[in-house]
């Protein structure tokens, strides 16, 4: 108690020094709180918020071209993006110093067999017009599921897709 009494008395003797110490203490505390909040906001903006804002650019033929698709007609591949067109986009992106991740979702017409059976639809179109009984949809990554032409899917029987790594999809 003696120590506290002497310390309190010493603080009261030189009032300007006491006020200066109190002001510096408040200033350091306030700046520490501001710095912590700025660091937290920066961390959130550059991590969680940034990751949740992943833009998705989908490059595919227009709906009119897709409606005319005939799986048996190989000339449909003329609608695919050529390397020259891709290079034009890639060059423009690189000039802006933009980096991006990519994924691929593609579909292939398939005819059914003993081991691969199509689920019957309400209206049926001839195999000659579609190129197959069903469409096999392939996903490069889990993100490809979100951007595929047919939207989200629901597994009605069997196991869902599991991805071991970003580049290793397994059925």
Q: Contact at 8 Å (CB) between 141 and 167?
A: yes
For residues 63 and 106, state if they share a domain: yes
For residues 125 and 84, state if they share a domain: yes
For residues 17 and 62, state if they share a domain: no
Using a cut of 0.85, tell me whether the model's pTM lies above it: no
Torsion of CA 109, 71, 66, 122, to 10 degrees: -60
149 or 165, which is more confident: 149
Tally of CA atoms within 13 A in the half-sphere of 32 that contains its CB? 6
For residues 84 and 132, state if they share a domain: yes
For residues 46 and 84, state if they share a domain: no
For residues 61 and 29, state if they share a domain: no
Domain range enclosing 150: 56-170
For residues 10 and 85, state if they share a domain: no
For residues 44 and 120, state if they share a domain: no
Give the chain's domain count: 2
For residues 89 and 119, state if they share a domain: yes
Predicted confidence at residue 169, as pLDDT, reads 47
> For all residues of the chain together, what is the average pLDDT?
78
Which residue from 107, 166, 108 is spatially nearest to 142, judged by alpha carbons?
166
65-96 per-position pLDDT tens digit: 877 777 677 777 787 888 888 888 888 888 88
For residues 47 and 75, state if they share a domain: no
Which of 81-85, 90-94, 108-112, 129-133 bottoms out in mean pLDDT, i.e. has the lowest?
129-133
Q: Distance between CA atoms of 72 and 77, rounded to whole angstroms? A: 11
């Amino acid at each position: 108690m003696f120590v506290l009494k002497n310390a309190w008395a010493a603080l009261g003797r030189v009032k300007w020094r006491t006020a200066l110490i109190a002001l510096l203490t408040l200033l350091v505390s306030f700046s520490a709180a501001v710095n912590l909040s700025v660091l937290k906001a920066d961390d959130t903006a550059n991590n969680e918020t940034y990751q949740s804002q992943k833009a998705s650019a989908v490059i595919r033929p227009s709906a009119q071209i897709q409606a005319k698709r005939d799986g048996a007609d190989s000339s449909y591949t003329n609608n695919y993006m050529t390397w020259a067109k891709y290079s034009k986009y890639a060059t423009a992106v690189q000039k802006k110093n933009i980096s991006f991740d990519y994924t691929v979702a593609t579909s292939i017409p398939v005819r059914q067999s003993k081991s691969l059976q199509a689920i019957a639809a309400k209206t049926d179109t001839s195999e000659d017009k579609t190129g197959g009984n069903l469409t096999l949809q392939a996903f490069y990554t889990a993100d490809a599921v979100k951007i595929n032409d047919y939207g989200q899917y629901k597994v009605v029987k069997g196991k869902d897709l599991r991805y071991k790594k970003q580049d290793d999809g397994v059925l």
